[in-house]
Amino acid sequence: RGSAGLVPLCLHVLAIAFALEVSVGKTNTVMALNNSNVLLPCIFTTCIGFQDLDFTWYFNLTEMVGCSLIYHGKIKSKASEPILVERNPRVEFVGSTTGKDNNISIVLKNVEFSDAGRYTCHVKNPKEKKAQHNATIILTVVQESKLVEADNTVTLIIVGIVGGLIGLLILFMLVKRVVLFIIKKTQDGKKECLVSSSGNDNTENGLAGSKAEQKAPPKA
């Protein structure tokens, strides 16, 4: 395991670029989770078409040292899909060259931390005299647990908020029930009082009335 997974297979002498265009897309960086599979995109365009085109993917390519080939394919013509020449067992070709784009993307499987670095997609088209070009994408590998942790935190926050809201709702409903119960009880009580004391109503009113009358005079 480790960097030994991407064994250097060759040392290519790479010349100057001409009409051929190679691109890894708008962003030249890609992030992958430890142990996941990552797409390394690359397409090429050529004005005059191609024949027996060579494409190679390198890991951490430098002028002379650390030249590490991870995929090498050949394409006979626009009408055919690439033929595998050699590859790292963890690298899989996922592109297609018979469609609109000449897609020569690869997938790197079971990404390890030692896989972080520069991935160079290099194309050589014999039809365009010595035309060759390259594009590089930078891979960063992040620890799964960190994303999972962040995920868990977010989940916990969401669960907390939802749980809190449900709790509040239940509490509110309980309080409402209790309040309604109390109101009902007091109203029932009042009714009972009114009903049971209906006989005394007159005397009470009379008393209250007489009391009010009694209270009024001192001021006058």
Distance CA 125, CA 19 (A): 10
Dihedral sign from CA coordinates of 148, 152, 158, 159: positive
Using DSSP, state whether 136 is helix, strand or coil: strand
- Would you count residue 125 as binding ligand NAG (CB under 6 A)? no
Residue span 71-90 as binding mask against ligand NAG, x where in contact by CB under 6 A, dash where not: --------------------
Q: Cα–chain-centroid distance for residue 152?
A: 13
Q: Which of 45, 80, 98, 114 binds ligand NAG (CB under 6 A)?
A: 114
Q: Report whether 88 contacts 119 (CB < 8 A).
A: no
Q: Which of 14, 18, 74, 92 binds ligand NAG (CB under 6 A)?
A: 14
- Would you count residue 131 as binding ligand NAG (CB under 6 A)? no
Q: Minimum distance between the CB of residue 159 and ligand NAG, rounded to whole angstroms?
A: 25
Q: Minimum distance between the CB of residue 95 and ligand NAG, rounded to whole angstroms?
A: 5
Closest CB to ligand NAG among 98 and 187?
A: 98
Distance CA 56, CA 70 (A): 8
Using DSSP, state whether 15 is helix, strand or coil: coil
Distance CA 141, CA 32 (A): 5
- Would you count residue 94 as binding ligand NAG (CB under 6 A)? yes
User: Could you tell me the two tokens for 92?
Assistant: 């899989």
- Would you count residue 142 as binding ligand NAG (CB under 6 A)? no
List of residues contacting ligand NAG (CB under 6 A): 3, 14, 17, 34-35, 39, 41, 43, 60-61, 94-95, 101, 103, 105, 114, 116-118, 122, 133-134, 143-145
